[in-house]
Amino acid sequence: MNAATQSHAQPRPERDEAYNFAYLDEQTKRMIRRGLLKAVAIPGYQVPFGGREMPLPYGWGTGGMQLTAAILGAEDVLKVIDQGADDTTNAVSIRRFFARTAGVETTERTPEATIIQTRHRIPETPLHADQIMVYQVPIPDPLRFIEPSETETRTMHALNDYGVMHVKLYEDIATFGHIATAYAYPVTVNERYVMDPSPIPKFDNPKLDMSPALMLFAAGREKRLYAVPPFTRVTSLDFEDHPFEVQKWAHNCAICGSHDSFLDELILDDRGTQSFVCSDTDYCAQRVSQGRAEQ
Amino acid sequence: MSAISTNAAAASAVAMSAKGMNATLLQPAFADPVLDAQRSFRVALKALAGPGVAQSLQSAQTPPRLDGLASASHALCLALLDIDTPLWLAPTFDTPAIRANLTFHCGCPIVSDRQNARFALLDGSQLHDLSGFDLGNDRYPDQSCTLLVQLPSLQGGRQLAWQGPGIESKNHVSLPLQEGFWAERESRNDFPRGIDVFFVAGSELMGLPRSTNVLFKALPSKGDA
């Protein structure tokens, strides 16, 4: 929990001049930027882009990194989280990558960041209008698990033909008695495109709806990017008699005591003793330091 | 970084060697092509993600004056155009200076056929007829043409309310446009197909993506010409 002691952005690092600013070449950035403008204009639609090879394997956030590289400027403050944590390998590596190639300030504090690249979580601290979220996405098409052909799914998106998504959710209900999809829970954006919100827990889905921040998504291997503009209606698919619900816990966070954040389960010993802690390390650390200040 | 000096040097070299018109035509572009392009793009992104709110480019990041182009139009062209983006120019902008500079700095093909353009540069007098521009198709709506519309000002017309993604409730916008534009836009907007527009005046720009719903009836016709 070293975020507790780091309440301010780290000093601006030296940029490695051997690389172009933020690693990617300018023509690639322009191509991604044009794609992003179209993605914003057609909320939830997956724009194909010429994904480049990045100096790390697919699945480690190559899509998100290409978007971050295309939008990042010298004045930006970058935060990177992986499963809510600022101090995991993937988050630390990506933060260091941009500190080195772009010389930008980085931070672990959600309110201080102007760009937040994320894998699998949306911060608990509410976002504001001057922030851009960049999501790393493995499989961008929510229909892919049902229909493997890109030609078919593209037609389904074009024809607004999403009945099969409800069939998938219904099969959950028929098998388990409730909608068992817990992450990458499909959403409808602005009453048109069905979109994969990336593998965030469904707990985070409501944060997408009418958010003041711009949300950008990219899949490096599949070479697709898409966007949810600020203040856009994002609704999770559900049924009248099985409305969408988010996860709830009977426990509080063992560190900060929060009862309304997304909790990770920890197994403490061989007898299966459980403990629960916040998945968002910055949120947890801020609550701890606030609690100390109040005492 | 080195790209600028190369560009500027090349520009002056070409200008020197070509004794005729080119000597006066070619001008330097962004002072810092990497970061100025990024800043211009971010302003454009913000404008499109918040339709109806004017965003302005800081003078430090805009390119030197190019006759006939507003500084924001010039900056958008330099930031977004390259060899992959055929550009259509309205007659007002089809000048030797604009052709020479955009061809040189962006490398974009300039096309005479609207259908083949990915970007188009228009002025207010063109807006009654948007025929020919690519609207994308239902499977690839992103393949549509983006319009850059240069106006004398972003205010002074009939006030309309805009609604849709990027707008919390309603934005009241009074762009000085011919009435014909709205009918043209309406007739060509068949979401997800449609036209995305950047309105530009001086160093300011405003985005109008196809997803924005423009309300005509809800407002009293105050100041309606």
Read off the pLDDT of residues B74-108 as tens digits, 9 standing for 90 and up: 999 999 999 999 999 999 999 999 999 999 999 99
* CB B114, CB B133: distance < 8 Å: yes
A78, A105 contact by CB (below 8 A): yes
Q: What is the pLDDT of residue B6?
A: 47
**The pair of three-digit structure tokens given for residue A264, joined into one six-digit string:** 């990770």
For chain B, which domains are there?
2-215 (3.40.50.11310)
CA-nearest residue to B44 within chain A is A37
CA within 13 Å, CB half, B66: 30
| Among A17, A31, A158, beta carbon nearest to B84 | A31
- d(Cα A266, Cα B224) in Å, to the nearest integer? 65
- E strand or H helix at A91, and its extent? helix A89-102
Do the chains contact at A73 and B80, CB–CB below 8 Å? no
pLDDT score recorded for residue B1: 41
Right CATH number for A2-142+184-236 from 3.30.930.10, 3.40.50.11310, 2.40.50.1070, 3.30.70.100? Answer: 3.40.50.11310
What dihedral angle (degrees, nearest 10) is formed by the CA atoms of B40, B45, B46, B49? 160
Residue A256 designated active-site = yes
Closest chain B CA to residue A224: B142
Query: Is A284 a residue of the active site?
Result: yes
pLDDT given at position A23 = 97
% of chain B at pLDDT higher than 90: 81
Q: Read off the tokens for A12.
A: 């601006």
Residue found by looking up tokens 């049902």 in the block: A146
Q: How many residues are recorded in chain A?
A: 295
In A190-209, the residues whose Cβ lies within 8 Å of chain B are 190, 192-193
Q: pLDDT tens across A55-83, in order? A: 999 999 999 999 999 999 999 999 999 99
The interface predicted TM-score (ipTM) is 0.94
Considering only CB atoms, which chain B residues are within 8 Å of A193?
192
Query: Is A37 in contact with B44 (Cβ distance < 8 A)?
Result: yes
Q: Does A229 touch chain B (CB under 8 A)?
A: yes
Mutate to test the interface with A, among B42, B77, B142 (most CBs of A within 10 A): B142
Give the pLDDT score at B60: 87
Place of tokens 């290409």: A66
What percentage of chain B carries pLDDT values higher than 70?
86
CA distance A75 to A78: 10
- Nearest CB partner across the interface for B39, out of A34, A35, A73: A73
pLDDT in tens, A262-289: 999 999 999 999 999 999 999 999 999 9
- State whether residue A266 is helix, strand or coil: strand
Distance CA A126, CA B107 (A): 43
Note the pLDDT of residue A5: 45
Q: Find chain B residues with C-beta within 8 A of A74's C-beta.
A: 35
Distance CA B113, CA B60 (A): 35
CA dihedral of residues B90, B95, B98, B104 (deg, nearest 10): 110
Q: Is B134 helix (H, G, I), strand (E, B) or coil?
A: coil
Residue-wise pLDDT tens digits, A160-187 = 999 999 999 999 999 999 999 999 999 9
| Catalytic residue of the set A63, A84, A284, A291 | A284
What are the per-10-residue average pLDDT scores of chain B (225 residues)?
A: 46 46 81 97 98 95 92 97 98 96 97 97 95 97 98 96 97 95 95 97 97 78 45
Mind telling me how many Å the CA of B97 is from chain A's nearest CA? 24
Token pair in block for residue A123: 């911060």
Please tell me if residue B141 touches chain A, with a CB cutoff of 8 Å.
Answer: yes
| Contact call for residues B138 and B192 (beta carbons, < 8 A) | yes
Chain A CB contacts of B78 under 8 Å are none
What pLDDT does residue B14 have? 46
pLDDT at A3 over 90: no
Q: A68, A60, A55: which is closest to A98 by C-alpha? A: A68
Q: What angle do CA A280, A24, A151 make, to 5 degrees?
A: 80
B199 phi and psi, to 5 degrees? -90, 135
pLDDT of residue B3: 44
Residue B100 CB-density burial (10 A; 0-12 exposed, 13-18 middle, 19+ buried): buried
Peptide bond into B33 cis (omega under 30): no
The residues with which B163 forms a beta bridge, in sequence order, are B213
Residues A44, A61, A64, A220: which is the catalytic one?
A44
Q: pLDDT at position A293, please?
A: 81
Checking if the pLDDT of A205 tops 60, the result is yes
Provide the pLDDT for residue A290: 92
- For A193, nearest residue in chain B (alpha carbons): B192
Contacts of A27 in chain B (CB under 8 A): 82-83
Domain boundaries, chain A: 2-142+184-236
Residues A125, A207 contacting (CB under 8 angstroms): no
Task: Please indicate if any CB of chain A lies within 8 Å of the CB of B200.
Answer: no
pTM for the predicted model, two decimal places? 0.92
Chain A contact set for B3 (CB, 8 A):
26
Report pLDDT digits (tens) over B109-135: 999 999 999 999 999 999 999 999 999
Asked whether residue A194 carries a pLDDT value surpassing 50, the answer given is: yes
CA separation for the pair B203, B69 (Å, rounded) = 10
Chain B contact for A154, CB < 8 A?
yes
Which of A30, A36, A209 is the best substitution to test chain B (most B C-beta atoms within 10 A)? A30
Distance from C-alpha of A114 to C-alpha of A213, rounded to nearest angstrom: 10
Burial pattern B54-77, b for ≥16 Cβ within 10 A else e, equals bbbbeeebbbeebebbbbbbbbbb
What residue of B is the nearest CA neighbor of A26? B34
Longest dimension (CA), chain A: 61
Contacts of B164 in chain A (CB under 8 A): 190
Do the Cβ atoms of A26 and B3 come within 8 Å? yes
Q: Collapsing DSSP states into helix, strand and coil, what is residue B207?
A: strand
C-alpha of A141 from chain center: 15
Spatial separation of the C-alpha atoms in residues A116 and B175, rounded to whole Å: 34
For the stretch A126-163, pLDDT in tens is 999 999 999 999 999 999 999 999 999 999 999 999 99
- What single-letter DSSP state applies at residue A13? P
Among candidates B172, B165, B200, B162, which has minimal Cα distance to B49? B165
User: What are the C-alpha distances in Å from A215 to residues A63, A209, B81, B165?
Assistant: 14, 11, 24, 12
> How many angstroms away from the CA of A280 is the closest CA of chain B?
27
Q: Is B59 helix (H, G, I), strand (E, B) or coil?
A: helix
Q: Do A41 and B167 touch (CB under 8 A)?
A: no
The gap between the terminal CA atoms of chain A, to the nearest Å, is: 19
Task: Please state, in angstroms and rounded to a whole number, the distance separating the CA atoms of residues B185 and B181.
Answer: 6
